[in-house]
C-alpha cells in the first residue's frame, strides 16, 4: 500500500495490509488533522510522543521518535516529552524511554 509509512509497528503494518480501505481512511484523517493543527511540526511530534507515553503505546514510539528527530527535536527534548506526563500519568511513561532512545540514536 502506498500510503503506509515506513518503520511502523507490526500491528500497524497488519492494519495496512489487512484493512486497506480502513487504513486509507485513517491516513486521510491523520493528514487532515495535521493540516488543522496550529502547532509547528517539531512541537506536534513531541506532543504526540508525550501522548504515546502516557497511554503506554510503546509500539509507536520508535516511528514517532524518528519523526521528531527529523523535525529538529534533540535527544533531550524527546526524553523530556516522554516524561512530561510523569506527574499525571505516573511512572509508566518511563516504559517508552528505551524504545525512544534506541530509535533516536539509530540513524
> Does 33 share its domain with 46?
no
The C-alpha atoms of residue 17 and residue 11 are separated, in whole angstroms, by: 10
Q: pLDDT confidence of 8, banded at 50, 70, 90?
A: confident
Joined together, the cell numbers standing for residue 37 give 493543527
3 is a domain residue: no
pLDDT at position 107: 75
> Does 94 share its domain with 44?
yes
The C-alpha atoms of residue 55 and residue 25 are separated, in whole angstroms, by: 23
Q: Which residues contact 42 (CB under 8 A, 6 or more apart)?
A: 68, 71, 72, 73
Higher per-residue pLDDT: 11 or 43: 43
> Does 75 share its domain with 97?
yes
> Does 95 share its domain with 80?
yes
> Does 44 share its domain with 96?
yes
Average pLDDT, the chain: 93
2 is a domain residue: no
pLDDT digits (tens, 9 = 90+) for 43-92: 999 999 999 999 999 999 999 999 999 999 999 999 999 999 999 999 99
> Does 51 share its domain with 78?
yes
Higher per-residue pLDDT: 3 or 24: 24
- For residue 31, the enclosing domain spans 8-38
Amino acid at each position: 500500500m502506498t500510503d503506509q509509512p515506513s518503520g511502523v509497528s507490526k500491528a500497524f503494518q497488519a492494519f495496512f495490509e489487512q484493512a486497506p480501505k480502513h487504513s486509507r481512511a485513517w491516513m486521510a484523517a491523520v493528514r487532515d488533522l495535521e493540516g488543522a493543527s496550529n502547532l509547528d511540526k517539531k512541537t506536534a511530534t513531541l506532543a504526540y510522543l508525550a501522548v504515546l507515553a502516557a497511554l503506554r503505546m510503546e509500539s509507536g514510539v520508535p516511528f514517532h521518535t524518528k519523526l521528531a528527530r527529523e523535525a529538529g527535536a534533540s535527544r533531550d527534548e524527546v526524553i523530556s516529552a516522554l516524561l512530561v506526563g510523569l506527574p499525571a500519568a505516573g511512572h509508566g511513561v518511563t516504559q517508552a524511554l528505551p524504545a525512544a532512545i534506541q530509535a533516536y540514536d539509530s540513524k
